[in-house]
Amino acid sequence: MNLLAQEEILIVDDNPANLAVLSQVLKSVGLKVRVATDGTSAIAQSEYDPPALILLDIMMEGIDGFETCRQLKANLKTQLIPIIFITALEDTEDKVKGLSLGAVDYITKPFQALEVLARVQVHLQLQLLAKKIIQQNQELEKANQQLQYLVNFDGLTQVANRRHFDRYIQQEWGRLQREKQPLSLILCDIDYFKNYNDYYGHPAGDDCLKKVAEALKNAVKRSSDLVCRYGGEEFAIILPNTDLAGAIKITQLIQLTIKELKLVHDRSPINKNITVSLGISSEIPHQQSSVKFLINAADTALYQAKEQGRDRYHLFP
């Protein structure tokens, strides 16, 4: 019992003698005890400060033990508290009724101290085990979420990685093909990033990538849009339910957001600050086309933007 000594038991009984005897039995092994003399106050106590376990008399004035149990089990704040009925009723039907309402056990009057302690100990241990399982499940869920994040997001820039890009664009292609709605893609490349990295060093280059990724996220507002690190200094933005005109507006906003960063680039032959080149493709998915075509189209448009002098966007075709 020592391991369970910090647990608190609520005894609910309208008979002062029963309360006194049960309290003495439980306190004798170090358990904390509080009492309620009616079902209404027991419910209020349990909701405000849930006990580890409730010993509940069935025959009480006002609402009886059955109704008290029913209300406790119907309340999200108290439904997981184990309830042991204490009763002089011997009828099997009454016991079945109590168990069907959610009670975990019965103690029959006149009760024996050793039996009370044994049953209380068992259910406290079960409750502690249940709490540990819930905690472990929560920790496992948190670990799974962290793992999913590591699998799907780029560790440096904190945007989606190439794996996530591949899966998401396939998913949206299939959905929008069924819905006959447009899907747009923007490929974005930091201009003369190798020069930047060589001159300022890799730590500065990493910081630049992070700031550009953050700027891209700020330019893309909808939860369905996805910013990805496509590779190296290249990013991709997937825009479901967005036509070419909408994609152009996003691209122009990206250009403005990058410009506002004012990241100095002394080794750029075209601008004193960091700039980007962008390629845009847009299509209503259909069976005669493919995700590969959409990606290749954006890549071709990006190449043309670079060929035309960089720090600009180009549309496909």
DSSP reduced 3-state for 50: coil
Helix, strand, coil distribution of the chain in percent, nearest 5:
50, 20, 30
Helices (H), the chain: 16-27, 39-48, 65-74, 92-100, 113-152, 162-179, 193-200, 202-219, 244-261, 291-307
Question: What is the sign of the dihedral through the CA atoms of 23, 24, 29 and 30?
Answer: positive
| Tokens at 14, concatenated | 């309208």
Cβ atoms of 13 and 57 closer than 8 Å: yes
Cβ–Cβ under 8 Å, residues 119 and 53: no
Q: Kindly compute the dihedral angle of the four CA atoms of residues 255, 256, 257, 259, in this order, to the nearest 10 degrees.
A: 90
Tokens representing 58 are: 């069935």
Out of 7, 233, 234, 283, which one is annotated catalytic?
233
* 233 among known catalytic residues: yes
Question: Side chain identity at 276, as an amino acid letter?
Answer: V
Instruction: Please identify every residue annotated as catalytic.
Output: 233
